[in-house]
Amino acid sequence: MDPATTFHGIIPANLLPFRPDFSIDETGYRRHLCWLAAVPGVTAITCNGHAAEVSSLTREERQRALAIAGEEVGSRVRLIAGIFAEGTLEAATLAKDAKAGGAAGILVFPPTLFMWGAQLRPEMAFRHFAAIADAVDIPMIVFQYPPAMGIGYSPETLAKLAEIPQIAAVKDWSNDIVAFERNLRAVRATGRRIAMLSSYSASLLATFVLGADGTISGMGSVAADLQAELFDAVRRGDLDAAKKVNDRLRPLAEAFYCPPVLDQHNRMKEALVMLGRLERAVVRPPLQSLTDPERRRIHAALVLAGLLPA
């Protein structure tokens, strides 16, 4: 397996539509997946990530969400399954589910326990990933959080994790361009072909210019086509074209990721309703529906991005 070709390009993290009773809207989900898979430049889709409100999903719902994706678009794009768990044993079980469900790889979230000081105990992170790798042989993507949150890994820890053969990529959401470059250099220095996938939506252009192999992004559920244009322009060395696309992405990033950030995927669902790609923007509690002023801000951002008429 060559991670540079297995995980690259534009990898949206799909939103998961719900019905008013909070059950999964399978019809809307299939339609959403088909749009994502049809975008030129989309090479994979991440299921059961933050964008899918994974913390609210049962194990059975995660299995079903992956199965639906496999049925609908599995023959067209690779599928990556998010592994969101508070303990290593549960993470290993979910990883086995993912492989059995046909995932090409897994995106491993850090347990929230890590925010209480795991940066001072980097061996905990190594053992967490190593135990999952021992339980199931499947390519793994490290989810890198902003260091200030307490659950981001140091560049040295990322380099150590690269010793695990199943580690194939890093999804870098450090949200700090200096930290991103340090992480990129640390991973490249290991000599292993590990893909660096940017999740820094507020500065995607800069990470692509630095050499990111692609992106995993919830915002890709709304603007995968623009992200693909941006990535292609940078790869061709056409920075003028890249800047123009970046100018269209900027208002979307500002609208989706403004405080409180916990509403980011709620806002993206509202955007897809405005674009006619989702029927409704239902989120599971404790998330709440947006206010009308917030909806107006999202609509204005879609207009500035050229996705809706003025």
CATH (domain of 130):
3.20.20.70
Q: Within a domain: residue 284?
A: no
Structural domain total, the chain: 1
- Which secondary structure element, helix H or strand E, spans residue 214, and what is its range? strand 214-217
Q: Within a domain: residue 263?
A: no
Q: Within a domain: residue 302?
A: no
Tell me, what's the pLDDT at 5? 55
Alpha helices in 79-237 (DSSP H): 88-100, 122-135, 155-161, 177-189, 204-210, 220-235
- Kindly report, residue by residue over 236-278, the tens digit of the pLDDT: 999 999 999 999 999 999 999 999 999 999 999 999 999 999 9
Angle between helices 239-256 and 292-304 (to 10 degrees): 180
Tell me, what's the pLDDT at 249? 98
Q: Within a domain: residue 282?
A: no
Helix (H, G, I), strand (E, B) or coil at 93: helix
Tell me, what's the pLDDT at 273? 98
Q: Within a domain: residue 309?
A: no
Domain that holds residue 115: 3-246
Whether 170 shows a pLDDT value over 80: the answer reads yes
Q: Within a domain: residue 90?
A: yes
Q: Within a domain: residue 280?
A: no
Residues 6+ apart with CB under 8 A from 301: 251, 252, 254, 255, 256, 271
Q: Within a domain: residue 183?
A: yes
